[in-house]
Amino acid sequence: MPPTRVRAYVRWGGKNDRADAAACCEAVSRPSMRFVPIKTPTRQAVSLLHRSRRLLIEQRTRLVNAVRGHLAEFGIVAPKGTAGFARLLGETETSPSGALPAVARDALMALVEQWRETDRQIEILSARILAWHKHDGDSCRLATIPQVGPIVASALVAVAGDARRFKNGRQFAAWLGLVPRQNSTGGKERLGGITKAGDCYVRQLLVVAATGMIRRIRTNPALFPWFADLLNRKPPKQAAVALANKIARIAWALLARGGTYKAPQTA
């Protein structure tokens, strides 16, 4: 059971093992209690691949920022992006000794070597995720959804487990935290930002994938008319979150009912 749902049944008088056990016994008897699904070893292994890749990406970003910050103190700067960082490394290796002392160069080269090794490990993990994706039927079916690639599809399959435990796609989207937070009372509905419940990694992937659709829709509105009309009425970030919610619902339908994605027919 999720600890956040059991905490409400802990009695006053301090936290101890006896109070926690009594709270668990009380919570498990509630008909509305939800339980954490048990993953298969294969799905757990794929989740481990994604978590390891995410950690390495964060470390690579920190290394890039560290190298850029240290070189900026010596007046060596470059534009943003991968191309700018590659040019920055070239200038560092070929810069005269007066611009960059030898001691600073040795320290920076240690960070650069660690960055290169981290980047190599990320490529290895990405290749393993792609190989698993090609041999999994559910992941390949999810990849037919627009803006959903092997990374997003495999992450959804690994996290969702048995999608039939959700009654509909709305429950699945709410489980991922892609629905508005409610603060309603007295018959008045007050909706705020999204709840951000569930797996933050999968939610981030869905929002990033939905954000990539904005440029495609602006050049070709007929590709997704519903999203094109939403962009005309809402800010881009809100529209991207709404599209991420829709992608999650479509993914639930494919996982629970089978089949592949079919584009909606325009009138």
| Average pLDDT rounded to a whole number, residues 32-48 | 87
pLDDT at 240 over 90: yes
Contact partners, residue 149, CB within 8 Å, separation at least 6 = 143, 209
The string of pLDDT tens digits covering residues 61-111 is 999 999 999 999 988 888 988 899 988 888 777 766 667 888 888 899 999
Residue 214 tokens, joined = 């904005």
Residue 33 predicted with pLDDT over 90: no
As a whole number, mean pLDDT of residues 222-230 equals: 86
Which tokens is 5 given? 């749902």
In the chain, the percentage of residues whose pLDDT exceeds 70 is: 97
Average pLDDT rounded to a whole number, residues 34-57: 90
pLDDT of 30 strictly over 60: yes
- Whole-number pLDDT of residue 95: 66
Query: SS3 for 103?
Result: helix
- Using CA atoms, how far apart are residues 161 and 38, in angstroms rounded to an integer? 8
- Work out the average pLDDT over 249-259: 94
User: Is it the case that residue 267 has pLDDT exceeding 60?
Assistant: no
* pLDDT at residue 133 greater than cutoff 90: yes
In this prediction, residues 144-161 reach a mean pLDDT of 93
Instruction: Give the chain's mean pLDDT.
Output: 90
